[in-house]
Amino acid sequence: MSLTAEQELQAISLIRGFAMDAPLHAKSGHQGTAMSLAPLAHVLYSRIMRHSPTEPHWVDRDRFILSNGHASILQYSMLYLAGYGLELDDLRAFRQWGSSTPGHPEVHHTTGVEVTTGPLGQGFANAVGMAIAERRLRGQFGDASVDHHTFVLAGDGCFMEGVSHEAASLAGHLRLGKLVCVYDDNHVTIDGDTGLAYSDDVARRFEAYGWHVEQLGEIADDLDALEAGIRRGMAETERPSLLILRTHIGFPSPDLTDDPHAHGNPFTAELVANTKRVMGIPDEPFWAPAELVAAYRAHCAERGAAEVSAWTARHHEARLDAALWDATWHATGLAGWQDSLPTYGTDQSVATRVAIEQAFNATLDKVPALIAGAADLTGNTGTKLKGQNAQSAEHPAGRQVYYGVREHGMGSAMVGMALHGGVLPAGGTFFVFADYMRPSVRLAALSRAKVVFVFTHDSVGVGEDGPTHQPVEHLATLRAVPDLQVIRPADANETMQAWVAAVDHDGPTALVLSRQNIPVRTDGSAVARGAAVLRDTDEASAPQLVIVATGSEVALALDAAEQLAGEMRVRVVSMPSWDRFELQGDDYRTAVLPAGVPVLSVEAATTFGWARYADRSIGIDRFGASAPGAVALDRLGINVDHVVSTARAMVAG
């Protein structure tokens, strides 16, 4: 059933009413942007987007991202109206503990929300990743099974943030024709008029990036003009589209239209009443006529069912390999995929950045969702896939992504790819440059996005480049991020198992890998449980000391234990992953690190945090220095002699 013109106008008034009522009720929130964009949101959900409220995870749905996530009440209002499961009580619980309507949209928390947004610019960059994922999957499976658009709403704040520059440049270069961004050009930020700090010519900027740009002008309340403008953007298949919509924040408030106070300060009851009077709707909280809501939901459900039915027929006719399709969409491996991984002998010495590339290429045909790339460091970080085309308009199925020197844009795009589904993105850079992508790493963890961050050159072993390129504090900062799996493998065998752990994990993984060659000294089994004993005393004698190490320092710890063998009983533990170790039961953790036995940790990084496991720590609690890697490590105390002397002092008491 179609909506009448009167019902469309009523729906827009309902959205604007909710945009005021929910922040007023919560005494917190942002109503102004949601009010001015109500007609646009209505047009997208009721006229443009292919989506199904009854099958919200349908794989070929159009994706919608609210990059200016502070306007979350706009998206919640649409999800309520369209029938995605939100009801009036959910809107009344806006921004409250345990509600389905948190302050900013959160994926997996509210049905219909595709990505977690709020930090400005991130959602825009996520949308670029989603468009990459759509094109990769369309190239892989054909447009009968994958063929949809990504729509993103972004504001001035999104385009001020640096990540938007990186992501927009990448999108233009890749010619992502299925990406449509509507720029909410309202000239307002919290501080006041954007002219206080912002005089960019956004249209010319995006044209220079290679986007199709159109000034829609003053049509924010003209439904037919909005629809026509969006469809023109959709018709531009060779370039991403930026549609610049001049809006007036807080409209139609007679008191605060175009006023910065409409941005983040809830309207008073009087201001709400004045605005509802102008709109001609009752001055009652959460006004929602039952007939209107029922008609809107029926309209969206009917449109969605027709789209899903047509897609199901096309997809069935395509007769794709079901196992391949399922493994791709679940971003996992085909049956027995781990059997393709190589194993390494103790006569080998391999940099773990080299080992991860061998893992990727050994399983490339068995992990069909994998795409890989780097921030201009593809060969350096082990993210080069053999025989694969670069992702591009000419090669839409390409699995190699060249991100250029854009760490922040890369990280955010990978989050978008993962949350789109069907893509397991692995992206590499030097570990020290994790600082350039920390917001996207954090949001990957918050979103449980299945992303593999490949961080190489993991210590002062980087060498001559010096302290600007030598990570020291970075391991500690990553370990502090909730729900981020962090693995620093000791050698090539542990690297293979780290790849298994990443593919099997249901969230993001950071692989922290060496530049320098490391002797193979393990069978890799420590990764599964986070830590394991590599060298022990005889069964009849308890250890006098446990040396626990990660990464390249595991071999060093084993060498030190051999040197101490004649004078004390030493156990050596490899602990590639703190978070996986913490998931084990008390019995296992105590078996590895026995109570009452002193523990010495060895790691070429800050010792911060090791007090949870160790009584003494050898590490680097200063910045590094420019020198050959082996020299830098030795001069900063990461050597066998230092471990041996410290062990003797600990056992002597």
Name residues whose C-beta falls within 8 Å of residue 7's C-beta, 6 or more positions apart in sequence.
292, 295, 296
> Where does a domain end: 473, 492, 519?
519
Helix axes 162-174, 122-141, angle to 10 degrees: 20
User: Does one domain contain both 431 and 530?
Assistant: no
How far, in Å, CA of 233 to CA of 239, rounded? 9
> Where does a domain end: 519, 535, 560?
519
User: Does one domain contain both 226 and 92?
Assistant: yes
464: domain CATH number? 3.40.50.970
User: Does one domain contain both 514 and 532?
Assistant: no
Q: 324 is written with which tokens?
A: 């391949």
How far, in Å, CA of 138 to CA of 60, rounded? 10
637: domain CATH number? 3.40.50.920
How far, in Å, CA of 484 to CA of 304, rounded? 35
Within a domain: 317? no
Q: 433 is written with which tokens?
A: 């440059």
Question: Given CA atoms 41, 47, 51, 52 in this order, what sign does their dihedral have?
Answer: positive
Q: Kindly list the averaged pLDDT for each block of 10 residues, start to end, along the chain of length 653.
A: 94 98 96 97 98 98 98 98 98 98 98 97 98 98 98 97 97 98 94 91 98 98 98 97 98 95 91 97 97 98 98 97 98 97 97 98 98 96 97 98 98 98 98 97 98 98 96 98 98 98 98 98 98 89 96 98 95 98 97 97 98 98 97 97 98 89
Within a domain: 576? yes
Instruction: Please give the residue range of the domain that contains residue 282.
Output: 5-307
Within a domain: 325? no
Q: State the first-to-last Cα distance of the chain, in angstroms, to the nearest integer.
A: 82
User: Does one domain contain both 531 and 569?
Assistant: yes
* Whether 115 contacts 57, CB under 8 Å: no
pLDDT of residue 265: 86
User: Does one domain contain both 484 and 531?
Assistant: no
CA 381 to chain centre: 20
Within a domain: 628? yes
Within a domain: 316? no
How far, in Å, CA of 583 to CA of 487, rounded? 14
**Which amino acid is located at 477 in the chain?**
T
Within a domain: 476? yes
User: Does one domain contain both 119 and 206?
Assistant: yes
Number of domains in the chain: 3
Name residues whose C-beta falls within 8 Å of residue 84's C-beta, 6 or more positions apart in sequence.
53, 56, 111, 112
Within a domain: 318? no
Of residues 37, 152, 236, the one with CA closest to residue 413: 152
User: Does one domain contain both 572 and 622?
Assistant: yes
User: Does one domain contain both 144 and 265?
Assistant: yes
What are residue 600's phi and psi, to 5 degrees? -115, 125
Question: Looking at the annotation, which residues are catalytic?
Answer: 407
pLDDT of residue 633: 97
* Whether 528 contacts 497, CB under 8 Å: yes
User: Does one domain contain both 432 and 554?
Assistant: no
> Where does a domain end: 467, 501, 519?
519
Of residues 209, 219, 283, the one with CA closest to residue 251: 219
Within a domain: 323? no
pLDDT of residue 541: 84
Three-state SS string over 504-557 comes to HCCCCEEEECCCCCEECCCCCCHHHHCCEEEECCCCCCCCCEEEEECCCHHHHH
User: Does one domain contain both 377 and 360?
Assistant: yes
- Rounded to whole angstroms, what are the CA distances from 181 to 117, 435, 597? 15, 28, 60
User: Does one domain contain both 278 and 395?
Assistant: no
**Which amino acid is located at 508 in the chain?**
P
User: Does one domain contain both 123 and 168?
Assistant: yes
- Considering the entire predicted model, what is its pTM? 0.97
How far, in Å, CA of 467 to CA of 464, rounded? 9
